[in-house]
Structure 1
Amino acid sequence: MKAAVYNKFGPPEVVKIVEVEKPVPKSNEVLIKIRASTVTTVDSIFRNGKNLFARLAVGITKPKNKIQGSEFSGVIEEIGDKVTKFNVGDHVFGPADDNFGCHAEYKCLNEEHTILTKPDNLSLIDCAAVPSGALTAVPFLRDGAKLTSSSKHPKRIVIIGASGSVGTYAVQIAKYYGAHVTGVCSAKNIELVKSIGADEVIDYTKDDFTNNGKSYDVVFDTIGKNPYNQCKNSLSENGIYLTAYITWSILFQMLFTTKIFKSRRKAMILFTGLRKSSEKTADLKFIKELIESNKIKPVIDKKYPLEQITDAHKYVDTGHKKGNVIITLG
């Protein structure tokens, strides 16, 4: 089978299309013919190897898992003899397991992994743009920011990187929970962020929300753009700063504000990828329901065939993608 493989860290050109052995499902596994995946900012970070925390996750001197791809959509082609939850021909989507591997024509997964049949109102290709961003946004907003649709007093939330993969889902999910959403993005993406529900949008190239005199209950930095120390004076008395971008700084700030000094204003990071499959499955079911009820939708910027995955990496490396970049297979 064809797969996009990288054997060393570096620029997009380290990713090569090669022939690798097609996997064979074990008795409790399903074999999925991948129809689509994505190239995410995390894929880019893992590939270039410049981030220390990324190296700790994927390999110190070289990549441990040579095939990237953190989410998929596809068709079940074969099932093991003990599989009971799925049938051959099911159209499914979900996040990858700890080995990634979705930038390939086939992937085996345990049937207990987070795999769902696709939403009725979304194409199989577009489903690939759902799991990673949405499964990050939901726990950050529900568990970290404590957003709830039953709140009598809507929280005011700033979403930094509102036009990205996590950001576009965060805007929509925060609105579902009844929050007043201020999105932060570049000028060219203002209309996009407004179209998915943001109440206000700030062009970060012209205005700095930390200097506008307003206070917010939550600041969610999806891209590691604005550190806690820059944002803390914009937080309300019991405000929460959340970030999806791990640094030594945020780890220390989280320790100081939640454990040592127990400040009313808190800095937090959630390791959403480390949750149990059962938790991810419950959240993906919730996300699927939101999609089928037209409460949220994936934002898709570009689509590339697997053979052009190097170009997809180059585009993601610019830092200007809107929503998701899809890779198609077959």
Structure 2
Amino acid sequence: MKAAVHNRYGPPDVIRVAEVDKPSIGDQDVLVRVHATTVNRTDCAYRAASPFFVRILTGLARPRRTVLGTEYAGVVDAVGSGVTSFKAGDRVFGYNEGRFGTHAEYLSVPHDGAIATMPSGVTFEEAAPGTEGSHYALAFLNKAGIRPGQDVLVYGATGAIGSAAVQLLKHHGPPLPRCATGRTWNW
């Protein structure tokens, strides 16, 4: 399969399109054929290793993960034997920070990770960029411990994180949603 790869840190021209192995899936994984992805601030920081401390996470001398990309939308191509929440043909979108890999034709993600079925009427190009800002906004709002009756000022509400924070607060109000495990909800 084709993927956008980088084998060294630097400016955008360190990226090249190359043939790489198609990811395999485990019993609890979903294989997604990626139809849309983004290049966002996280990808740019990890590609450039800027700030320098990013190298602690990504590899000191060169990147350990050569295919970047955190946001995606696509179609489920296959599921592991233990997956019941998705099936081949489902239209999905999600966020894959840390594991990366969305700048490729196929992506393997855990079925219980930050992956969801796309709402009807939403295109792949509309769904893919809707996750990173929401992920950070919800994490920050949960960390702040906002409770019912409190007023919240969202400074910088025109960016991805701020606009998502406004929408989450308007739609859910405090307390904000959490995932079934009690951790901060990933969306």
State whether TM-score is above 0.5: yes
One-letter amino acid of the counterpart of residue 154, structure 1? D
For 1:74, the equivalent position in structure 2 comes to 74
1:147 aligns with 2:146: yes
**Is contact 1:114-1:277 (8 Å) kept?**
no
Alignment partner, residue 197 of structure 1 = none
Residue 134 of structure 2 corresponds to 134
Q: Could you tell me whether the CA contact under 8 Å between 1:159 and 1:171 is conserved in 2? A: no
Change (3 A) 1:173 1:97: closer
Shift of 1:35: 1.0
Root-mean-square deviation over aligned CA pairs: 2.6
Identity %: 34
C-alpha deviation, 1:283, in angstroms:
4.4
Structure 2 counterparts to residues 83-98 of structure 1, below 5 A: 83-96=83-96, 98=98
Instruction: Give the partner amino acid of 2:164.
Output: Y
Contact 2:10 2:47 in 1 (8 A): yes
For 1:277 and 1:104, how far apart are their aligned partners in 2?
Answer: 30
- The corresponding residue for 2:101 is 101
In terms of Rg, which structure is larger?
A: 1
State the AA in 2 paired with 1:56: I
More helix by share: 1
Say whether 1:172 aligns with 2:171: no
- 1:45 counterpart SS class: helix
- 1:166 aligns to what SS in structure 2? helix
Structure 1 distance, partners of 2:186, 2:11, is 34
Q: Equivalents in 1 of 2:69, 2:126: separation in Å?
A: 15
Q: Deviations over 1:24-45 (max 9, x none)?
A: 2223322100111111111111
**Does the 8 Å CA contact 1:43/1:68 hold for their aligned counterparts?**
yes
Distance of 2:52 and 2:151 partners within structure 1: 38
TM-score, normalization: structure 1? 0.50
TM-score by length of 2: 0.85
Quick one: which amino acid aligns to residue 163 of structure 2?
A: T
| CA separation of 1:68 and 1:283: change in aligned 2, threshold 3 A | closer
SS across alignment from 1:127: helix
Q: Which amino acid aligns with 1:14?
A: V
Q: How far apart are the structure 2 equivalents of 1:112 and 1:175?
A: 26
The answer on whether the counterparts of 1:39 and 1:69 sit within 8 Å (CA) in structure 2 is: yes
Q: 1:283 to 1:82 in 2, by over 3 A?
A: closer
- Distance in 1 (CA, whole Å) between partners of 2:118 and 2:29 is 18
2:159 partner amino acid: G
Unaligned segments of structure 1, at least 5 residues:
180-275, 285-330
Contact 1:76-1:90 within 8 A present in 2 as well: yes
Instruction: Say how many residue pairs are matched.
Output: 184
Letter in 2 for 1:41: R
Which amino acid is 1:167 matched to? G
Q: Do 2:68 and 2:102's aligned partners in 1 also have CA atoms closer than 8 Å? A: yes
2:13 maps to 13
Distance 1:98 1:127 in 2: 20
Per the alignment, do residues 139 and 121 of structure 1 end up closer, same or farther by CA in structure 2, a change over 3 Å counting? farther
1:30-45 → structure 2 map (5 Å cutoff): 30-45=30-45
Q: Which moved more, 1:92-101 or 1:61-70?
A: 92-101
TM-superposed deviation, 1:178 = 6.6
SS of residue matched to 1:172: helix
Q: Flag the 1:88–1:279 CA change in 2: closer, same or farther, 3 A.
A: farther
Describe the shift of the 1:6–1:277 C-alpha distance in structure 2 as closer, same or farther (beyond 3 A): farther
- Shift of the 128–281 alpha-carbon distance from structure 1 to 2, 3 Å rule, reads farther
Counterpart of 2:146 in structure 1: which amino acid?
L
Residue 56 of structure 2 corresponds to residue 56 of structure 1 = yes
Change (3 A) 1:78 1:139: same
- How far apart are the structure 1 equivalents of 2:30 and 2:182? 20
CA distance in 1, matches of 2:119, 2:80: 24
Residue of structure 2 in register with 1:206 after alignment: none
